[in-house]
Structure 1
Amino acid sequence: MHESETVSSLALSLASALGDDPFYRSLVADCEDDAGVRLARYFEQSIREGHDIGQVRQAGDDGCAVWITSCDLKRILDARENKLAALGRLLGPVGFANYRSMVANMERRLPPLIPESAWYLSIMGVAVARQGQGLGGRLLASTLAEADSHGAMCYLETFNPRSVPFYARQGFAVGAEAVEPLTGAGYQVMVRAAR
């Protein structure tokens, strides 16, 4: 069996849609031969994490939003430990070191206004052929409505300046701008207060 046949079509769509993002490119820096498959497997692991400690909204194989919504610290720590163990096996040594460094750097640069109870949009991706058709907004709508009903702030990070207007239409605003030191890439932290 070819290695890519064991990866879900959704994960492959996410890898294709988000593969140019500096964060994700850094994860497969030492996996030239199978970077797309490895990145897809990263997305599969992140989707599992979303199911464990948050929510996953999916539109078939065309798009997905992965949220971390749990406030249970033990569950969060257990899920992160499981994810790190899986990524240590999945990513090459450079990609895994990059992941740990970038996540630590980005966590240190979160604006102080984001409470621990905030819901985090970890991954949002729509297949290239389906972009611009309203699918992204539909993927976010139900979780944002639920966050509103719980009075929960939401936040995300994006390296793609073109996505800022999209998130602004969903009620997010830029709360901080930073440069990720490993990649040298600028990114925005966007926040959304409960309505």
Structure 2
Amino acid sequence: MSNILYITASIRSDAESISRGIGQRLVEGLAAKTGASVTTRDLAANDLPYVSAERFAANLTPAAERTADLAAIADTLIAELQDADTIIIASPVYNFGPPASLKAWADLVARAGTTFRYTPTGPEGLLTGKTAYLAIATGGTPVGAEFDFMSRWLTFFLGFIGISDVEVIAADGIMGQDGTAKIAAAQEAATQLAA
């Protein structure tokens, strides 16, 4: 059976968050269509730790040789990614970039030898064969703009760990005149993608 990993990063509740609303439509539609199980990781609620020198060192130590439990959260997050066929990341853009919790998640799952490896020709992602959907909401930043440091970074990061099949659904610039229409269009796009 397939598995969907649903990652949310908005500090707003399910009822208030535009990105969560778009992401939830995708999750519900894809799960209904495929019968996939769903694993949810709410980054805003779980208060992920930032990478410290000790946690970084534990991440580099082979599992059998670790004496500290410092890599446990990274192990859990990596296992969630490895087990998923489809990854849906619902996130707002904060100050032109990703929420700190989403960056912390990326720092924890980027593990040399596990999610990527170094080769003579450069890094190679190891989480291949997966599809990712990014459900993004922005107040004023147009997704794909030169100053959109979130969607471009996240697409690059996913590719770095081997997930190159990435689709973006965006309600961007929703603080402008067409905000309501942009939200509705993104919700409809999510519904259509999952149909």
TM-score by length of 1: 0.28
Q: Which has the higher contact order (CA 8 A, sep 6+)?
A: 2
* Structure number with higher helix proportion: 1
Find the structure with the greater CA-based Rg: 2
TM-score by length of 2: 0.28
